[in-house]
Structure 1
């Protein structure tokens, strides 16, 4: 009897292989053949699951987004307010090699999303979900007295996302300026500045 194929598992294996290959070699150098070799599949097998590299890049980006959300959920599970907000942001910042590799997938996806139908909307949806979650944590921190700034919560969330995604770009293009300690220090300075009178302390 032929072995039954778990298509969902195989699809995930291909996505992970795509992520590893693109992170290691760059998007332009990545081919379907290299992805198949990385996954341990025959070259033609990928065509049964994805229609070309563009679709694979979008799937790899979604995989990165899912991984990030899983980490965020794990580290913020028992935290509240400002502590949860800091931890949330740390999981997006490219503070280690793993998160730096994720940024290598995110940046080319941004470029592709400019010209591919549906991908910009997908990215906007992901950012909207992060914004909503950040606003919830900002509201908690405000209730706790850790945020006293008059800025609207949505503006604070937008500024945080601009900072976090900006560091993803800088960490790849000018790595010497993106030391993890510098990233954390700038994030801390911004968050501390949301209580300008120091009333939280």
Structure 2
């Protein structure tokens, strides 16, 4: 009887190896051969799961984004307004080993969106999801009386996204990265400014 293969589990295993390898070596340096070897597969075996390296890079970004969203959901659960907003953004900021590795995946993905319309749409959908979530949490903050500035919520959400995305770049600077404690102080300063003086 042929051995049953859990295709989804195999894809997840390959993606876990891929994103970590890409994060430490770079998307261009991590070859299909190297990814296959690190995942414990024969050269060429990845073709059964991913058509080519571009498909694997796309899947790796989606995998990282989905994992980040799972952490965000867990961190936000039971919270609302500013407390939930802070918990959300802490999971995005590159302040831990894991989130720094994730930033190393996100940055090369962004550069590919300039010339790849499909990747650009995936990136845009991801940011639209986060915009909606941030606006929902800001609206809760207004209901609770914690957000009182006159600036519209969609503009505030853009400020917060710009800070988080910018810190993903600054935290990866080779000689003077923005430290985790500085990032968290910046986040808290941003959140404090949501209450009118």
The TM-score range, normalised by the shorter chain, is over 0.9
Distance 1:12 1:72 in 2: 20
CA distance in 2, matches of 1:84, 1:164: 15
Equivalent residue number for residue 126 of structure 1:
126
C-alpha distance in 1 between matches for 2:165 and 2:175:
14
Partner of residue 67, structure 2? 67
CA displacement 1:107-136 (0-9 Å, x = unmatched): 111111111131101110010011001100
Match of residue 34 from structure 1: 34
Pairwise CA distance, 1:28: 2.0
Partners of 1:189 and 1:140 in 2: CA distance: 19
Cα distance in 1, alignment partners of residues 174 and 125 from structure 2: 28
Aligned position for 1:196: 196
- Give the alignment of 1:142-153 within 5 angstroms: 142-153=142-153
Cα offset, 1:174, TM superposition: 4.9
SS where residue 176 of structure 2 aligns?
Answer: helix
Q: Per-residue deviation at 1:175?
A: 6.0
1:102 alignment partner in structure 2 = 102
Structure 2 residue runs of 5 or longer lacking an equivalent are none
Aligned partner of residue 176 in structure 1, secondary structure: coil
- Post-superposition Cα deviations, 1:31-90, rounded to whole Å, max 9, x if no partner, equal 001100111111111011212222111111111101110001111101111100111010
In 2, the alpha carbon distance for the partners of 1:177 and 1:46 equals 35
Structure 1: 5+ residue stretches without partners? none
The CA RMSD measured in Å over matched residues stands at 1.1
2:17 and 2:113 map into 1 onto residues whose CA distance is 21
1:112-123 equivalences in 2 (<5 Å): 112-123=112-123
Structure 1, 66-75 or 108-117: larger mean CA deviation: 108-117
TM-score, normalised to structure 2's length?
0.96
Q: Which residue of 2 aligns with 1:156?
A: 156
Equivalent position of 1:84 in the other structure:
84
Moved more, 1-10 or 150-159: 1-10
Query: For the residues of structure 2 that align with 1:114 and 1:130, how far apart are their CA atoms?
Result: 20
Question: 4+ runs of 1 displaced by more than 6 Å?
Answer: none
Paired residue secondary structure (2:171): helix
Q: For residues 175 and 134 of structure 2, what CA distance do their matches in structure 1 show?
A: 27
